[in-house]
Amino acid sequence: MVRVEIIRPEPNDAVATGTFLRQLRKNRLGVLGALLVVLVFVSAFFAPLIITHDPIKIMVGPRLAPPSLDFLLGTDQLGRDTFSRVIMGGRIPLLVAFASLGSALAVGVVLGLIAGFGPRWLDNLLLLVFDTIRSFPGIIFALAIIALVGPSLASIIFVIAMTSVPIYARVLRTQAQGLLSSEYIAAERSMGAGTARILGVHVLPNVIGPLLILVSMDVPAVIAWEAGLSFLGMGVRPPTPDWGAVLNDGYSYINQTPWLVIGSGIPIVLATLGFTFLGEALRDIFDPKLRKDL
């Protein structure tokens, strides 16, 4: 009797995950970026377990104290532990980045599909709106909005989302219009496929990948935006710990206590480098034109 053994193929998602991890391991900067990103996320998520002191508690005695075993990064002018404030402050930039870019991506996808598949007049109208928003310098637009509605976390998220929507919408519009002239889209329409099926099955899976790569590379810019606005006093309100606010506190006493600036600046640099390296690695992996192994 001949015994036939049926070998079941590995699921496509498992194959894709394994291929992605192998390609990522070949990119040393990508691995370094992934490790830095994981470090930022872990420190922000488990911040209450990592901090050594209450980040907003004012202590009269150890004001502007140097780094020690009790205060790893010293204390600020109010006696607050800088290390605890830096660890807890990592939550705000990540929240702003993912809330603003996530909402901008969702709105940009909808508007990009409307511009790409809608009538010509609507496409021109949306392009006019996109160009109008992008014509304002980003920092000037942010300062104007925050001056009108007041500094807050919601204001920063709104400003970043508003300035990011045109970028994602334009990218999706361009790629969607390129797919309109493809042969398989024409074949799908000749077989009676509706617009919803074409968009959901054929267009979005082909365009969402580049958009996600673009979002990952925009995260460090948003972190820098948020830290800069908080440094100028237009971000989250005291005493909420934030990297930009801690950096501002240290800048006022940089001659006497440089460790405040160093302690709050290092996380911004590490987070920026991590997301930048990871975004470039994702671009190299998922963009066939940039794959080094092809």
Residue-wise DSSP of the chain: ----PPPPPPPHHHHHHHHHHHHHHH-HHHHHHHHHHHHHHHHHHTHHHH-SS-TT---STTTTPPP-SSSTT-B-TT--BHHHHHHHHTHHHHHHHHHHHHHHHHHHHHHHHHHHHS-HHHHHHHHHHHHHHHHS-HHHHHHHHHHHH-S-HHHHHHHHHHHHHHHHHHHHHHHHHHHHTSHHHHHHHHTT--HHHIIIIIIHHHHHHHHHHHHHHHHHHHHHHHHHHHHTT-SSPTTS--HHHHHHHHHHTTTT-HHHHHHHHHHHHHHHHHHHHHHHHHHHHH-GGG-TT-
Residues 139 and 209 grouped into a single domain: yes
Residue whose C-alpha is closest to residue 76's, from 220, 241, 292: 241
100 and 236, same domain (yes or no): yes
Indicate whether 13 belongs to any domain.
Answer: no
Nearest by Cα to 118 from 45, 62, 169: 169
Q: How many residues are recorded in the chain?
A: 294
188 and 234 co-located in one domain: yes
pLDDT at site 200: 66
Distance CA 140, CA 146 (A): 10
Q: At what angle do helices 138-149 and 204-231 cross, to 10 degrees?
A: 70
pLDDT at res. 99: 92
Residues 82 and 39 in one domain: yes
Output the pTM of the full model.
0.79
* Residue-level pLDDT at 185: 67
Q: Are residues 76 and 100 in the same domain?
A: no
CA distance 46 to 172: 36
- The token pair that represents 53 in the structure block: 């002191």
174, 204: one domain: yes
Residues 103 and 201 in one domain: yes
Provide the CATH number for the domain around residue 126. 1.10.3720.10
Say if residue 100 is in the same domain as residue 58. Answer: no
Are 122 and 213 in the same domain?
yes
Same domain, 49 and 159: no
In this structure, is residue 248 part of a structural domain?
no
Task: Give the burial class of 188: count Cβ atoms within 10 A of its Cβ; 0-12 exposed, 13-18 middle, 19 or more buried.
Answer: middle
Q: Is 59 domain-assigned?
A: yes
Q: What are the structure tokens assigned to 2, written together?
A: 């001949």
Contact, 79 vs 62, CB < 8 A? yes
CA dihedral for 185, 189, 195, 197, sign (positive or negative)? negative
**Count of domains for the chain:** 2
The pLDDT profile of the chain, 294 residues, written as one tens digit per residue, is 444 443 444 444 444 566 767 777 777 888 888 898 899 889 888 988 888 888 888 777 778 888 888 888 888 888 888 888 889 988 888 999 989 999 999 998 888 888 877 788 888 888 888 888 888 777 788 888 888 887 778 888 888 898 889 888 888 888 777 777 666 666 766 776 666 666 666 677 777 777 888 888 888 888 888 888 888 878 777 788 888 888 888 887 888 888 888 888 888 889 889 888 888 888 777 765 544 443
Is 30 among the domain residues? yes
156 lies in which domain range?
92-240
Look at residue 294 in the predicted model and tell me its pLDDT: 37
Contact 270, 40 (CB under 8 A): yes
**Do residues 122 and 203 share a domain?**
yes
The rounded Cα 196 to chain-centroid distance in angstroms is 29
- Domain-located, residue 245: no
The reply to whether 220 and 235 lie within a common domain is yes
Q: Residue 290 and residue 294: Cα distance in Å, rounded?
A: 9
270 occurs within a structural domain: yes
Say if 290 falls within a structural domain. Answer: yes
In a domain, 294, yes or no: yes
